[in-house]
Amino acid sequence: MYRRPQLVNAEQEQRRFRFRLRFAGAVAGLLFTVLLGRFVWLQLFQYDRYHALAENNRITLTPSPPARGTIYDRGGQVLAHNYAALTLEITPDRAGRLEETIDRLAELVEIDAMDRKRFRKLLSESKDFESIPIRVRLTDEEAARFAVNRYRFPGVEVKARLFRQYPMGDAFAHVVGYIGRINIKDEARLESEGRKANYRGTDHIGKSGVEESYEPLLHGRTGLAKVETDSGGRAVRVLSQTPSVAGNGLHLHLDARLQQIAADVFGPYRGALVALDPKNGGVLALVSKPGFDPNLFIDGIDVANWRALNDSPDRPLINRALRGIYPPGSTIKPFMALAGLELGYRRPGDSIADPGYFSLPGSSHRYRDWKKEGHGIVDLKKSVVVSCDTYYYRLAHEMGIQKMGEYLSRFGFGARTGIDLEGELAGLMPSPEWKKRRFNQPWWPGETVIAGIGQGYTLSTPLQLAVATMALANGGALYQPQLVRAWRDPVSGQVVHAQPKLLGRIDIRPEHLQLVRQSMVEVMLPGGTAAAAGAGAEYLFAGKTGTAQVKSIRQGERYDERRIAAHHRDHALFIAFAPADDPRIALAVMVENGGSGSGTAAPIARKVIDYWLLGKVPEALREGAADEGGEEEAHGAPAADERPGPVAARAPAGGTQPRGGSPNASAAPAPPAARPGGTRP
């Protein structure tokens, strides 16, 4: 074989190896020389400078975290503030054996299993030279007991820290939100936004609500203290400091009392309410029920509480006002009526004869009205007042989905409102293009028909309904809903006012607007669907009821409230504004599984508006009597009392019902209705 050439090769290879190794060695020597040069530069030529710096380096720079801004309601009521308290903290790399140190500390101050667990969690997320709390909120006595024994615990210190508190609790959790410890994800975000240096010494950051969306304003600027230390590294005195600048105080449009009343009048129901100021889009109340205690989250929620909140079928952590999407149901009708007038499909005087159903030309399928025998002769005003379905089936069919969608979109349906909170959902204003994209199926005419009464694919959040209602109330000004009204610079005392943001102005002919408003006023009067809730109102009250279906009822079956499981009952909807001649509040209420808009949602709106306009506090709340009777009873009682008018899109007396849509439409996948809440198929 080729033994010889191989040997030659091997020799050649070895020679090359030796040469290359020497070459690499020479490069290494060169680089070491560079290092040596650097050392000579630093340690000989720059020695004086660094010597001086090192002497001064008895002085440490310690960051002093700023006080977080306070959050107030419109009247100055505190919604979130700070209080000072003592914490016991350990710096791991100075403390020696941690477990042993903690065991010995536990003899002095109370340290329970929860504290240890949280400490271990924080330890795994922190660097060894960072100070980590083992116990928060020390009592004075505990702090004193530790101080006496401090010499036994190197690396353990008592520090005064500011703690966040939410005095108003549950009803405000979804608006104000909460702060929590900065985690790795927050840290990465801060670093990428170049804000990390400003968070040295800060452990918490806004995690939800206003606390999250206004984080940059609330946090403030971290200060630097030059502290002289003794040889042990303990602070001797403060030499100079750039003081921290506290975060801005935030003033909300929200009215704390209104918010509390709105949350309370829900009673045992789940749901959401959004009340807006029609003059500028300010959010007067934003409720999502049930709420939760935001204070639980500040220092890391414990497992038991977290499970209880996260696994609860009531889903308290979801902000239903912005993230709950429901078919708007009959609350869409005033907007449809306006579309019909403005786009020229209806004149104010036009009437139709309602036989109790509508059929597409050439089809025998009947889209039934909720009233089996029909409403007789129906003009536009009456169609709103009695919530006539047939009228809108027909109007929708004439307009077509394209024009309908275009017009309703002007009121903000199908798009995020841009409220100053994170996580808002956009809802859905369907179109043939959307359906093609989403399901790769054509649009059926029957789908347009049921879209006319706010069923089918159309989805909106309670916030979107409130915004659309606001635009109706103020004559077409679509404001971006805003929680924050102003903020106050703590140093200069200067107040910056948030300007109302106009998203769009809808031109509506005054006589059309007047007609639709008048019809909504009559909804609340005898003969209207919400007459019971409107009875005796001392102001002009405009409203519209609606129902969002949870469970579809097969053709030929009937919806029987008593026989249907509580969580399959319809969601009750109601939109309103008042006083109708000069609106000062516009709102939308959604009551999950509330049954009928008139029975559960409208009375809630009535109480909220009564308080806002007249200062009337509901009787039940003054007694503090929250109904504990369970959903069945709670629902039954007011409904029987007030004899609610029938609600739209409901078949109270047998017959087929548009709940599956037309035969055409029923071939399509079921629309994703009403996600949050205990609605499981």
Amino acid at 566: A
Footprint of other proteins on 73-112 (CB under 8 A): 94, 96-97
Q: Per DSSP, what are the bridge partners of residue 556?
A: none
Stretch that binds other proteins, among 229-237, 245-253, 614-622, 627-635 (CB under 8 A): 229-237
Active-site residue, from 208, 244, 330, 552 = 330
Give the separation between CA 608 and CA 59, rounded to whole angstroms: 59
In whole angstroms, the minimum distance from the beta carbon of 147 to other proteins comes to 21
Cβ contact 492:429 at 8 Å: no
Give the separation between CA 637 and CA 644, rounded to whole angstroms: 11
In whole angstroms, the minimum distance from the beta carbon of 232 to other proteins comes to 9
Cβ contact 325:291 at 8 Å: no
Cβ contact 541:534 at 8 Å: yes
16 touches other proteins by CB under 8 A: yes
In whole angstroms, the minimum distance from the beta carbon of 65 to other proteins comes to 12
- Binding residue count for other proteins, defined by CB under 8 A: 58
Cβ contact 356:368 at 8 Å: yes
**Contacting residue, 8, 11, 18, 653, with other proteins by CB under 8 A:** 18
Q: Which is nearer to other proteins, 103 or 557 (CB)?
A: 103
Cβ contact 575:526 at 8 Å: no
Cβ contact 246:66 at 8 Å: yes
In whole angstroms, the minimum distance from the beta carbon of 494 to other proteins comes to 27
Give the separation between CA 54 and CA 488, rounded to whole angstroms: 41
In whole angstroms, the minimum distance from the beta carbon of 190 to other proteins comes to 10
Spatial CB neighbours of 90, under 8 Å, sequence gap ≥ 6:
98, 101, 102, 119, 131, 132, 134, 155, 156
**Contacting residue, 112, 124, 148, 556, with other proteins by CB under 8 A:** 124
Q: Which is nearer to other proteins, 141 or 230 (CB)?
A: 230
**Contacting residue, 143, 224, 503, 617, with other proteins by CB under 8 A:** 224
What's the helix, strand, coil split of the chain in %, to 5?
40, 20, 40
Dihedrals φ, ψ of 501, to 5°? -110, 120
Q: Which is nearer to other proteins, 49 or 554 (CB)?
A: 49
34 touches other proteins by CB under 8 A: yes
**Contacting residue, 8, 32, 363, 667, with other proteins by CB under 8 A:** 32
Footprint of other proteins on 529-558 (CB under 8 A): none
129 touches other proteins by CB under 8 A: yes
- 14-50 in b/e form (b: 16+ CB < 10 A) is eeeeeeeeeeeeeeeeeeeeeeeeeeeeeeeeeeeee
Footprint of other proteins on 44-63 (CB under 8 A): 44, 46-47, 49-51, 53-54, 57-58, 60-61, 63
38 touches other proteins by CB under 8 A: yes
9 touches other proteins by CB under 8 A: yes
Footprint of other proteins on 358-377 (CB under 8 A): none
Tell me the Ramachandran region of residue 461: left when phi exceeds 0, alpha when psi lies from -120 to 50, beta otherwise. beta
User: How far is CA 309 from its chain centroid?
Assistant: 16
Stretch that binds other proteins, among 40-48, 174-182, 250-258, 392-400 (CB under 8 A): 40-48
Q: Structure tokens of 524?
A: 């609340």
Instruction: Name which of 641, 248, 320, 628 is nearest 464 in CA terms.
Output: 320
Stretch that binds other proteins, among 14-22, 273-281, 556-564, 612-620 (CB under 8 A): 14-22
Footprint of other proteins on 169-198 (CB under 8 A): 184, 187-188, 191-192, 196-197
Cβ contact 519:381 at 8 Å: yes
- Please indicate whether residue 330 is annotated as part of the active site: yes
User: How far is CA 676 from its chain centroid?
Assistant: 13
Q: How wide is the angle at C-alpha 599 spanned by C-alphas 594 and 604, nearest 5°?
A: 80
Stretch that binds other proteins, among 30-38, 143-151, 567-575, 654-662 (CB under 8 A): 30-38
**Contacting residue, 8, 11, 42, 144, with other proteins by CB under 8 A:** 42
Give the separation between CA 271 and CA 594, rounded to whole angstroms: 9
In whole angstroms, the minimum distance from the beta carbon of 223 to other proteins comes to 11
Q: Per DSSP, what are the bridge partners of residue 86?
A: 138, 160
**Contacting residue, 8, 11, 40, 629, with other proteins by CB under 8 A:** 40
- Which residues are catalytic, by number? 330
Tell me which residues touch other proteins (CB under 8 A): 3, 6-7, 9, 13-14, 16-18, 20-22, 24-25, 28-29, 31-32, 34-36, 38-40, 42-44, 46-47, 49-51, 53-54, 57-58, 60-61, 63, 94, 96-97, 124, 127, 129, 184, 187-188, 191-192, 196-197, 200, 222, 224, 229, 231, 233
